[in-house]
Amino acid sequence: MLIYLDHAWQVVKESCRADRREPGVADLYAAVMEGAVERVRPKMMTVVAIMAGLLPILWGTGTGSEVMSRIAAPMVGGMISSTVLTLAVIPAIYALVQEWRLRRGIE
């Protein structure tokens, strides 16, 4: 995710400098949104593929299903939490840090 966010932010900064103006907070937020949107499809493809394999194991019955469901349950929870972390938390923290750096004048 950070690669997507950094790339979008660099593109916006170069665009602002080409227009002979300093990038602002609105430019930062636009870059973060653009970078985060680029990551949605790859992340969701991965999550859906893994969940499609884990849900039958989680809901299965029969021999060995008790053990397998105990293995699959934390993996399903991990996929859900990693999706939230990747698509919501990391971009928010990135925006806060870059906004702090922007206000301090740190490049």
DSSP codes, 19-55: TTS---HHHHHHHHHHHHHHHHHHHHHHHHHHHHHHH
Integer Cα distance of 27 and 45 in angstroms: 29
State percent of the chain over pLDDT 90.
79
Q: What is the number of domains present in the chain?
A: 1
Instruction: Confirm if 22 and 41 have CB atoms less than 8 A apart.
Output: no
| Residue carrying structure tokens 């990693």 | 82
Give mean pLDDT, residues 6-16: 96
Asked if residue 21 has pLDDT above 80, the reply is yes
| 16 CB-contact burial (10 Å; exposed 0-12 / middle 13-18 / buried 19+) | middle
In terms of pLDDT, which residue wins out, 69 or 83? 83
Asked if residue 26 has pLDDT above 80, the reply is yes
Q: What is the pLDDT of residues 70-107, one digit of tens each?
A: 889 999 999 999 999 999 999 999 999 999 999 998 86
* Among the listed residues 104, 107, 93, the one whose alpha carbon sits nearest the alpha carbon of residue 5: 93
Strand residues in the chain grouped as ranges (E): none
Residue numbers of the domain that contains 21: 2-104
Q: What is the pLDDT of residues 28-64, one digit of tens each?
A: 999 999 999 999 999 999 999 999 999 988 888 888 8
State percent of the chain over pLDDT 70.
99
Structure tokens at 33: 């949104």
Integer Cα distance of 100 and 104 in angstroms: 6
Structure tokens at 35: 């970078």
The predicted structure's pLDDT at residue 83: 96
